[in-house]
Structure 1
Amino acid sequence: MKYTLYSIFVFVCLFSFFPSFLKGQDKNRHYVRTRLMTKDDGSSFRETITYYNSFGLNDEIREIGASPQGNDLQTFVGYDGAFRKVSESLPRPVGNTNFYNDSNPESYTVYEHSELNRVRESYGPGQTWRENGKSVKYTYLYNTKTGDDHCYCLSAKDVGEDIKVEVKSYDANEVSILRTTDEDGNVTDQFTDHEGKLILTRQKANGIPHDTYIVYDDHGRKRVVLPPLAADALGGYSTFMCSQVEEVQLYGYLYYYDERDRCIKKKLPGCEPIYYVYDRCNYLVLKQDGNDREAGRWQSFQYDRLGRQVIWGFINQNRPHADWIRICKKQNLSIYFRGASYGSENYGYTPVHRISHLCTPLIINYYDNYEYTTIFNEFIGFLNRPGYYSSFSASSLTSRDKLTGQVVALLNDPSKRDYIAYYYDQRGREVQSTMNSAFGFRNYTFTNYDFTGQPVSVRKEHTSIYRDTPPASVDDVDHILTYEYEYDHAGRLSKLYQTYDNDAKVLVAKYEYDEVGRLEKKLLHNETATSTYKYNVRGWPTEINEPRMSQKIYYNENLPQGVTPLYNGNIPCLSNTADNNLTSHFTYDGLNRLVSTKQYRPDGRFIETPEKFTYDKMGNVLTIERSYYDPYPDYLNEMTIQYHGNQIKKVTDESRGHDYYVLRYQDAANKDIEYFYDSNGNLVKNLDNKIGFIKYNIINLPEAVAFNDGNLLTYSYMADGRKVRDSYGSFPIRTSTPLDSIVNNTDPYITEHNDWSEDYYYSGRLYRIATPEGFIRFVNRVGYSIFYSMKDHVGSFRGYWEPGHANGPITFGYPSYHPSGIIYRKPYTDVPFALGGKEFMGTNNLDEYFFGARTMYAIMNRFNQMDPLCENYYSVSPYAYCNNNPVNAIDPDGRDYRLTIDKENNRMIVTAMYYASTQDFGSAQQAVDFWNKQSGNYIYKTKEGDYTLDFSLSVIEVPTDESMNVAQRSSVVTEAFRADKSGIANIYEVVSSFKDSNKNGVTVNGNHIGVKYSRQDENTGAHEVGHTLGLTHSSFGLMTSSSTDPYRSLDLNTVGLKDMITYPIRGKSNSEGRGVAGEGHLSVFNFSYSIGSSYYSVSKWGKIRRR
């Protein structure tokens, strides 16, 4: 009888499983229909139907009429007999099964034959990958006592002010190893201990291991990180003190904690320690890095009673670290807004401690209302413009938790400030912003929206300081730029119009898409020129055709003769007509670093500038060789670079060839030490380039560059990082003169300066206005021309063209690049943009790029300052550019979620995955579903236009048996998490209780969620998922700190959502007291960068609001 029942059960299960492969009639299938209304009367909407099989598994997603031709788009999901997802197709139009011209347009997963259900292989879409066996492979191993799989056992503990590390070796089979082999055979080993902590990452290049160790203390806290060149020293010690080992000081990362596990001291490679001070509520209130210490200051952070940062500035008082800890740790230092009734002291906020009185503010934020306008006369009130909103909502309900105003100081002179006001309509959408800038420029933005919240019209007004007479009123403006947007039925941008002042309207671009929504064509400038784009089955760009430039990108199909195909995303070959139709070939090492390039003429003759690079284990470039063959080698560079840690010590260039090119390494000195760095790791002197000294501001951006010949470059930044002015001059001084006296000098040696005011660039007069597809350039005070820019696959500037000529567009300003992307002819001075679309600063042969957060030395493609995110990439030098792979447009992963910006479709997509056991899957799915339902509900507004915020979160079920205890299930889930190489993985677990009985959920390290069994509801789970997406606690709604808070609800705080977007754009991570939120990685789909409109792919100063 038992056998019979079992047989029937299997039969029913198998029979019920058929619907996931054999589709029946729609009316006979389970489904969920979702409609997003696009008109207020409900007559128009966007519809998505999700179908489920008999086991409740999602097996098809159909977007109704979503293709440009109005066809449905289908995505299919397949499962095996164990209900594991084994395949997922790419979206395709209904009835067009061969849309991708590929027999395998789906991803495919192979599991190992065991009860653990671990992934053995993972294929992405594409027949070429499948037929050549090019999958990502996973092997599960254990360590050995000796040999290739050996692992040191390291532990750390405090000894006074130092950290002592004990070095042993693990016995065999004590540590789990996950070996990941990518499509091109590159291997990464991850070693985890029995608690699931990652202790070692091992990669190999040319058979040589590159080890990165993470050392923990008895409390499980990360204390020391030893990158490859520090890890190599381990064999010589049984114990060591970190302060006494040179390799640890030069390459290692050290962390110190207080009794509440808050990081109070941190040391980065080659830098002086950074000190942190917290108040009683765990808010970071003071911070001091090495340069701050030398300047005798502390950075100050002040919060209101809702936990929002309201003031950031500095205190000119060099009190010892221990004193500040003692003063602050028992006090609640939050402040609150009292408005004009409190007077202008402390800018309307009540000071509760002398820290507030001592602070010189650099950024002041105002929320909830507009009372701040009575404190400062510089704020500009709401303005009326015909056709735009004639009023705004001052209701505290509408503006609650919204940023309503900002005061942003000029770092060179904090008494000069930008005054910015934001105004919202009844639906909480920003309809107007006004800025009165530190130098006197004024910028106003007005926006109209459609029902879904997409902008249909944006009007930008600008008042210059270079006018003959002062403005008579706030309505007296000099320039008006109006943009109008049209969208197709699926919300994709279809047309963009531009009107400058009172001139004729111009159709800037008409956008056309293929049937799955990928940008296929742009018709530019009243449809007089065309750009087209092609992709492979994975959506990787294979061809970019601009009006005067064509680029082909090869991966593993249709390759030129002699090129080895690559499958992991590296580019082995590309050609570009902007490079005289040359074809470039690339080779990489086992760490995906570029090691050599070659170029060939169309006739196949090897001719142009081959390059070779060698690296140390940290990715610091040791040698650079470039030559010109015609027909024999003439070396342009034979550079040998010596280091002290990760910092350059000396460079020797042995090349003696003719100076064919403008950009060459100077090599003006021959000293034992030619490069010098400050306490924060910033380059302050370069003798080879005749730079006598560089002064940095509080955010580590160069404020002044003094050359040995007396020339001087100065830069002015606002406190939020915007560069607003640069100046050039010559001073009859010695380089030993204190730089402060130079920068503050008011004598007439400054001969030239340039200004930036949002999209406007001035060089003594208005010179250029950035536009979405290029720029407007002025030849005098009245005449102007419209230009369109050309970019390659990594966004590098390839020239610009002017429409309206009888024989077609005229092209200007071709910069020239080596195959690696390193520039060898400087860009046209009128439009100084090159690699990645970044500004090239070539004045006085400075030859650097400005990246917004750092500067990069162009001849080496190496940064001059530490990476602010270096702790996300321990194994890589903090000065390396793009992990030494400048050919590809993708930055390294390794963060907790990804923010993808689809500029052509005006979408921002937040993507993350959550690994959960079978028992916890339902709770995790409920939490994730909450966020996915928020898709389309919010808009991120920038000066470039509005972006719809979408969520694409998923739960990966890790099969676990009921017989497993919590620890066993946790181990299996952790192992699956460690195996994930997506860079967006997290863990979701349900636990019986926490040590603190008042906690219902926690998120550790921004990627590990724990939810109490008794509170695994949607509210708690979604709250913790929010932390992994970069959100900290807020004053109301979902992210309030306590689940019993009366303001706790499922509403979202828009200020927090803005952090989810802006932190990845700024390249920073969000934190709250000792808690660290998930870190977002930025990925951009964009082939039409605006010249000079922003140093970021999308403005970090955008505002978010609900539709």
Structure 2
Amino acid sequence: MKNKNLLMLMFLMLIAVVVDAQTKKNIVKENYTVLGSSTLEATESIVLKPTTWIKYGSNFTAKIVEESNLFPYSKPQFSNQNYIYTQTFQIATKTGNISYTKDVIEQITYFDGLGRPMQQIGIGQSPEAEDIVTHIDYDRIGRQDKDYLPYVPTVGANGLYKTDALTATKGFYKTPKYDNTANPYSQKQFEASPLNRVLQQAAPGNVWALGSNHEIKFDYNTNTVTEVALFEVSLDGNYIPTLSKKGNYSASQLYKNIVKDENWTTGNKHTTQEFKNKQGQVVLKRTFDNQPHDTFYIYDDYGNLTYVLPPLANGQANSISTTALKNLCYQYRYDYRNRLIEKQMPGKEREYIVYDLLDRPVLTQDAIQKSKNEWLFTKYDVFGRVAYTGIFGSSLNRAVQQTQFNAKKGISNKNYETRISANPYYTNVNYPTSGLEILSINYYDNYDDFTTVKTITYDSNTKTSTTRTKGLATGSKVKVLTTDKWITSISYYDDKARPVYIKSVNDYLNTVDVVESTLDFVGKVEKSKTIHKKIGKPYIVTVDIFKYDHTGRLLTQQKRINNQASETIASNMYDKLGALKSKKVGGGLQDIIYKYNIRGWLTDINDVANTNKLFNFHIGYTEGANPLFNGNINQTKWRTNNIDDSSLKTYSYTYDALNRITSGIDNTADKRYSLTGITYDKNGNITTLLRKGHTNNGIPSFTFGTMDNLVYTYDTNSNRLKKVLDNGNDNEGFKDGVNQTTEFTYDLNGNLISDANKGVTSVLYNYLNMPTKITVIGANAGVLDYVYSADGTKLQKIKTVGTNVTTTDYAGNYVYENNILKQFNQPEGYVEPKGSGWQYVYRLTDIWGNTRITFADDDNNGSVNSSEIRREQNYYPFGLEHKGYNNSMYGAKNNLKTYQKQEFTEDLGLNTHEWRYRISDPAIGRFWQIDPLAEDYMYNSTYAFAENKLGMGVELEGLEIVSWDFLIASGTTHSQSNPNGAIAHATGYVSGVKSSVEGTVNAIMNPAQTLGGIGNLLVAGALGGNTGMMLQADAALGTNSLGTAEALGEAISQGATDVISGNGLERGAVVGNVVTAALGAKGTNIALKGASAVLKTTPLATRSVTAANGVKVSGFTKHGLNQKMNRGVKSSSVLDAVKNPLKTGGVKVDRVGRPSQRFTGAKAEVAVNPQTGKVVSTNPTSTKKAARLKRQQEQ
């Protein structure tokens, strides 16, 4: 009878059915017994060992199921309430008839008799296809004082109004998983006045509840007579400004808004005071850390931001010295048309901008370019799109150059270039026409000039592409600097203007790259095929397959390389609300479990009590003797399964009142890895630092003590580091190579050009402020040469030590050393050659993205243990690596990505991290170059690392800190494998605005251009970057989400809008970074602005933003998006309008029954469909209207 049952089992295993996507992949049963009823389900195989016994008469079923979550669809039911029901189809359909829940995403919002939303239901949107319900209620006078978290009811997916939603919400969160939370909502306390201003904002969670004293507190006042210094700007006949101090503002002349964060107790610490004038301009931002830290914003008579005085510049009683003004302050000059024509950043010489008659920036020049008689130029086509950019040799000054453009009047003077049939396939009729070196070229509308690219093919099975390419970016050419070589890219689109085939030819590295993509109806990547060919080397063909659940959450990513068997890179599981709860990497080599607190902050990566998993990590916020409530991490614990030392290790962190790290203390008896005594000046420049650690090289064994006891000296009134004195040990950590008055020097752009302690005698930079040659003398003598493409992509590093030369090629995703492939990246690590095949190597990372464990299944037995850990890495704050334990390492040293996923350079004793846009020195916690986004953080040192706020987020590619709130809101903290998620967009954007940043420039100069074209240019030629990630980022551009085309395209267009028509502050934050880039080789700095904006707008795209009245705003309709782009309304203005409206209108319904509600903000009027959460219309708010509404609020 036993055999009979097994035969029946074999038959049943042939039956494929469809169930939950989180079903196990493979099941192996030994000593398995069935006495009654039992069912086994797996997606690939079920194996019962011979010891299995199934009792006769038992009901046993084994099923091989699909993992695509094909839940059968049933029409939702509706309660007898006012409601708006929305279906967003995920497949093409003419009839609307659907079979499975994956084919449509449904939502219903119920309204009360006053037209207010009272319940929102995502029908069947949980991973188990249950409803996700958000309860909405109002206080007794109609204000929404509580924003409830969503919950999943037990009644399934039916769309019915849940009468017990309030009770059910509280019950859902009153569990250990959610910290037994009694207040599953954020709550506002309003002042007792018709203004309804918020006095306190409490977050969900018991420790943040209203009355806990851990709320964010607000106060509203006006200035006193001694509170704010009054600065004035006078302009001469040539509009040259002069700054003077005129005492103080009279009492009650400024609005004073006060914010106290969740760590505030008493006094002014953790307090921000913001003073605004009657035009709504910020005059002063004041923060406190024992003493005030003041940043003044000073405007001319026309309202243009003319000076910004950071905190370190404000220690002088009656005036700002010339030295302080030059070295610490931001200065801007405008012409008679209020266009920014000159600017000077702290520690950097003056920069110049020239405009054409259409107010487009066409020439820019920094101080180093001025010394070489060079300008960066941009030329446009007839539609205002960037045609080509480059370097223009001319000794004429800015005023004379402007005169040249002002003279180009009349019909006969064309201010654009047209396509021709000869290389470079554009005319050269608009000034300048001589002395040009072209660095980048953009092509649009057709493929007429890409014969050479199209002839390079490889087994192309590309789907038929559209011939309707008018308005689309079809290709680009980017020059390799200091050579005559080019990187040429071409893109083909489907009928929705989404790129489906991208090819890039790199003549310098002799590589060809192709990406072919298969997209579903809504733009998700289902399949990505990448082909890489280096001349003289075999083809590398990778195919990635992505599977999603019924709402678009990534379930699995599989990768196949050439003919090798597929590898499951990652397999994700989600909790009821859709948060990532586990991820299996390497086909289950490691199962990573994630836990979060009630605010969504990551608390655990596995369990530190577990001694079996390779890496376990805990993050504390409010626990222990020093609880913190504003998001700063106060403690981390970790345990690895390393064979040398698997003990529990701890770091406890402290911060000052400005959230700058002051210490990280470990749990060893002698505190041997502690970092303490960190102090700062008012700008955030480190002044002292004490680091304990190893004091020798480990031979014969490690000894520990005071590794570094650093004292920093800066140039007078400057952010520039002049000298570091180490009163500790000079063998490790910071190595105090000399004791000189001046040990660090800089060029005219503020770039470090020598470091006497490291023996660095010279650093040369290109016009993008990226190092091209580093010369070192002494014990580590040698030379490093770098080669870049014109958009700043690093292509090659050449190390020369004596007669030994090592050349590293960065061919996009592929790294070669001395022409031998070393590795290429995959989302959870990298791949390295192994014999005739490939070895997948995986990284386990912490919350910062630091690589902590690198491992591989080298014996191919389907599991890993401590003996297969290739390397363990742990870090001090700022990125210096621990030594003295778990130092064993085997295999090729291929892990290029270490601290926060950046490449660590040990060459020539530099010991630096090479970020995308700057170089940082972890021993002293600073960057070598000025921050390209410095104007977004004027209160901070231009060289500071992540604003020194290491407990609040991660550094974005050497640009700025990205907070945990963004990572959580975008659902990207640990979901690198999602090719359509926000992190894919941001990562792909930041790392991939490479061979085609001209597309970004085009997006800036022509924000109304077809979004598909804008998006494609972010990808075209980006095979000089992470090809898979770039394709995935771009593929999502076919949607109308703020996180995709909107966040990328509009974020960039914002740069141009700010430059051309924005106010002074906006211009100050863009021009020079944005414009210099726009004019110079495809706009690297524009990419920086865009990257910043992407991260700032993505949360609205990925998880929605709750408007002031509780409406969830998640994106744009096509009409609303086009309006926004054409009318120059920024995403930041849209966000401000819905979250902080000056006026909220009632819900109105048009003739065809479409509801909308208008939010009037300071800079935008936004109409939102409260049922769908989509912005349907946008307009800029008139200055008079905004001022009137502000006055009404403040009365």
Partners of 1:836 and 1:679 in 2: CA distance? 30
Match of 1:785 in 2: 839
Question: Which of 762, 778, 784 is the equivalent residue of 1:713?
Answer: 784
Given candidates 621, 628, 633, the residue that maps to 1:566 is 628
- Alignment map for 1:170-209 (pairs within 5 Å): 170-185=249-264, 186-206=270-290, 208-209=291-292
How many residues are aligned here? Answer: 872
Partner of 2:997: none
Is 1:555 matched with 2:647? no
Q: Could you tell me which residue of structure 1 aligns to residue 768 of structure 2?
A: 699
Structure-2 change in CA distance of 1:629 and 1:819 (3 Å): same
Are the aligned partners of 2:332 and 2:343 in contact in 1 as well (CA < 8 Å)? yes
Please state how far the C-alpha of 1:815 moved relative to its aligned partner.
2.2
Residue by residue over 1:959-999, the C-alpha shift from the partner in whole angstroms, topping out at 9 and shown as x without a partner, is: xxxxxxxxxxxxxxxxxxxxxxx99799xxxxxxxxxxxxx
- Mapped to 2, the partners of 1:133 and 1:952 lie a distance apart of 35
For residues 523 and 386 of structure 2, what CA distance do their matches in structure 1 show? 28
Instruction: Give the number of the structure with larger relative contact order, counting CA–CA contacts within 8 Å between residues 6 or more apart.
Output: 2
- CA change 1:893–1:692 in 2 (3 A) is closer
Amino acid at match of 2:824: I
State the match for 2:599 in structure 1. 538
Instruction: Give the aligned partner of residue 36 of structure 1.
Output: 88
The residue that corresponds to 2:569 in the other structure is 508
Write the mapping of 1:606-755 to structure 2, written as runs, cut at 5 A: 606-628=671-693, 634-644=705-715, 645-656=718-729, 659=731, 663-709=732-778, 710-730=781-801, 749=803, 751-755=805-809
Report the Cα distance in structure 1 between the residues aligned to 2:726 and 2:419, rounded to whole angstroms: 62
1:27 to 72, 75, 79: 79
Question: Is 1:682–1:866's contact at 8 Å kept on the other side of the alignment?
Answer: yes
Q: Does the CA contact (< 8 Å) of 2:389 and 2:440 recur in 1?
A: yes
What is the RMSD of the two structures over their aligned residues, measured on CA atoms?
Answer: 3.3
Kindly state the Cα deviation for residue 27 of structure 1 after the two structures are TM-superposed. Answer: 2.7
Alignment correspondent of 2:540? 479
Provide the residue aligned with 2:610 in structure 1. none
Q: What secondary structure does 1:103 align onto?
A: coil
8 Å Cα contact 1:713/1:728 also seen in 2: yes
Which of 215, 220, 224 pairs up with 1:140?
Answer: 220
Corresponding letter in the other structure for 1:223:
T
8 Å Cα contact 1:192/1:198 also seen in 2: yes
After TM superposition, give the deviation of residue 861 of structure 1 in Å. Answer: 2.2
Tell me how far 1:844 sits from its aligned partner.
1.1
Unmatched segments (≥5 aa) in structure 2: 1-76, 155-167, 265-269, 608-612, 641-645, 696-701, 987-1007, 1020-1026, 1047-1093, 1099-1118, 1135-1179, 1181-1195
**Aligned-residue offset at 1:856:** 0.7
- Deviations 1:192-227 (Å, cap 9, x if unpaired)? 122221100111102x10001111111111111100
Q: 1:92 to 1:804 in 2, by over 3 A?
A: farther
Q: Equivalents in 2 of 1:412, 1:814: separation in Å?
A: 39
Letter in 2 for 1:300: F
Whole-Å separation in 1 of the counterparts to 2:1040 and 2:586: 29
Question: 2:511 is aligned with what amino acid?
Answer: F
Structure 2 distance, partners of 1:400, 1:867, is 38
2:304 matched to which residue of 1? 221
Higher deviation after alignment, 324-333 or 808-817: 324-333
Aligned partners of 1:179 and 1:189 also within 8 Å? yes
Distance 2:925 2:193 in 1: 47
CA 1:629–1:706: 2 relative to 1, 3 Å? closer
Alpha-carbon offset, residue 479 of structure 1: 1.1
Q: In 1, are the aligned partners of 2:632 and 2:952 still within 8 Å (CA)?
A: yes
Matches within 5 A, 1:938-953: 943-944=1028-1029, 945=1032, 946-947=1035-1036, 950-951=1041-1042
SS in 2 for 1:714: strand
Give runs of aligned pairs for residues 406-425 of structure 1, distance below 5 A: 406-413=476-483, 415-425=484-494
The residue matched to 2:904 in structure 1 has which SS?
strand
Q: How far off its partner does 1:848 sit?
A: 1.1
Per the normalisation by structure 2, the TM-score is 0.69
Paired residue for 2:505? Answer: 436
Take 1:359 and 1:368, find their aligned partners in 2: how far apart are those partners?
25
Give the corresponding residue for 1:110: 189
Q: Secondary structure at the match of 2:218?
A: strand
**Do residues 494 (structure 1) and 555 (structure 2) align?**
yes
Q: 1:236 aligns with which of 308, 318, 321?
A: 318
Shift of 1:952: 8.6
Counterpart contact for 1:315–1:355, Cα < 8 Å = yes
Q: Secondary structure at the match of 1:78?
A: coil
The alpha-carbon deviation at position 489 of structure 1 amounts to: 0.7
Aligned-pair distance for 1:449?
Answer: 1.7
Rate the CA distance shift 1:825–1:371 in 2: closer, same or farther, 3 A: farther
Q: Unpaired segments of 5 or more residues in structure 1?
A: 1-24, 468-476, 732-748, 912-930, 955-981, 987-1016, 1033-1074, 1076-1107
Separation (CA, whole Å) in 2 of partners of 1:478 and 1:335: 45
Q: For the residues of structure 2 that align with 1:498 and 1:861, how far apart are their CA atoms?
A: 38
| Superposed displacement of residue 853, structure 1 | 0.8
- Aligned equivalents of 2:579 and 2:296: distance in 1? 42
Q: Distance in 2 between matches of 1:1031 and 1:283?
A: 23
Q: Name the CA distance, whole Å, in 1 between partners of 2:814 and 2:879.
A: 28
1:426 aligned residue: 495
Contact 2:675 2:689 in 1 (8 A): no
SS at match of 1:174: coil
1:1007-1033, CA deviations, whole angstroms, 9 ceiling, x for partnerless residues?
A: xxxxxxxxxx9799635775313899x
Contact 1:774 1:787 in 2 (8 A): yes
Residues 530, 65 of structure 1: CA spacing in aligned structure 2 closer, same or farther, 3 A cutoff? same
CA distance in structure 1 between the aligned counterparts of 2:775 and 2:1122, rounded to whole angstroms: 55
Distance 2:418 2:1133 in 1: 27
SS of match in other structure, 2:79: helix
Query: Tell me, what secondary structure is at the counterpart of 2:535?
Result: coil
Q: Show the counterpart of 2:910.
A: 846
| Offset from partner CA, 1:285-330 (integer Å, 9 cap, x none) | 0000112112221011112222222212111223211110111134
Residue 132 of structure 1: how far off its partner (Å): 2.1
Whole-Å separation in 2 of the counterparts to 1:627 and 1:1019: 54
Supply the AA of the counterpart residue of 1:144: T
Any idea what SS the aligned residue of 1:503 has?
coil
Q: 1:172 to 1:775 in 2, by over 3 A?
A: same
Please give the alpha-carbon distance, in whole angstroms, between the structure 1 residues aligned to 2:675 and 2:348: 36
SS of equivalent residue, structure 2 residue 353? strand
1:268 and 2:329 aligned: no
Residues 626-682 of structure 1: CA deviation (Å, up to 9, x unaligned)? 12499998210011111110011111111137x4xxx52122122211111111110
2:385 corresponds to 1:327: no
Q: CA deviation at 1:846?
A: 0.8
Q: Deviations over 1:105-163 (max 9, x none)?
A: 211111111122111111122122116231110011221223xxx10111112346552
State the distance in 2 between where 1:952 and 1:426 align: 22
- SS of structure 2 residue aligned to 1:877: coil
The alignment status of 1:808 with 2:864, answered yes or no, reads: yes
Q: Is the 8 A contact 2:87 2:105 kept in 1?
A: yes
- Residue 958 of structure 1 corresponds to none
**What is aligned with 2:821?**
766
Q: Give the secondary-structure state (helix, strand or coil) at the position aligned to 1:822.
A: coil
Q: SS at the partner of 2:449?
A: helix
1:890, distance to aligned residue in structure 2 (A): 5.1
